[in-house]
Amino acid sequence: MIDLFQIRPGDRLVLVGGVTGCAVENFGDGQWVSFRADDADPEAEPELVHSQDITAHEAGPG
pLDDT of 1 > 80? The answer is: no
CATH of 4-58, picked from 2.30.30, 3.90.198, 3.30.160, 2.40.50, is 2.30.30
CA distance 4 to 31: 7
How many Cα atoms occupy the beta-carbon half-sphere of 45 within 13 Å? 3
pLDDT of 62 > 70? The answer is: no
CA distance 31 to 52: 8
So what's the pLDDT on residue 60?
Answer: 86
So what's the pLDDT on residue 22?
Answer: 96
> pLDDT tens across 10-61, in order?
999 999 999 999 999 999 999 999 999 999 998 999 999 999 999 999 998 7
CA distance 56 to 35: 13
